[in-house]
Amino acid sequence: MSPLTITALDASTGPVLEITGDLDYATAPQLRQAVGHLTLVGGQLLVLDLGGLEFCDSSGITALLASRNLAIEQRVDIALAAVPANTARILAVVGLDRVFTIHPDTATATAPRSESL
């Protein structure tokens, strides 16, 4: 069992939370608390970087959804980055790969978007 570590970073698009370790029943409240303590401004993008995630159970998935709900309440977009294969599979099986925007890495998630004319 790996302890959960959440590191908050700033990107030009908004906050990035790097999540490492196990996101499970015992640690899911830490993610909810971390997102709840962020200062979110409408129009920003909240990125949850899951590249260091080693394990995620149903409580972890629920915490990701709670993070999404908080972001929506604050009029902030949310994206997942560097989702490990086992977690990506779970998200796909339950249809959450259509709910979350998923990027291969944080750099892609936070890259400036070009405006179409």
In a domain, 117, yes or no: no
In a domain, 53, yes or no: yes
pLDDT of residue 115: 54
Instruction: Render pLDDT for 82-94 as a digit per residue (tens, 0 to 9).
Output: 999 999 999 999 9
Contact predicate 76/43, CB 8 Å:
yes
In a domain, 58, yes or no: yes
Instruction: Render pLDDT for 52-89 as a digit per residue (tens, 0 to 9).
Output: 999 999 999 999 999 999 999 999 999 999 999 999 99
In a domain, 113, yes or no: no
Report the DSSP pairing between strands 5-11 and 101-103. Answer: unpaired
Domain range for 52 is 5-108
Domain count, the chain: 1
Q: How many CB atoms lie within 10 A of CB 56?
A: 23
In a domain, 87, yes or no: yes
Span 29-54, average pLDDT: 97
- Domain CATH for 79: 3.30.750.24
Between helix 58-73 and helix 28-36 the angle, nearest 10°, is: 10
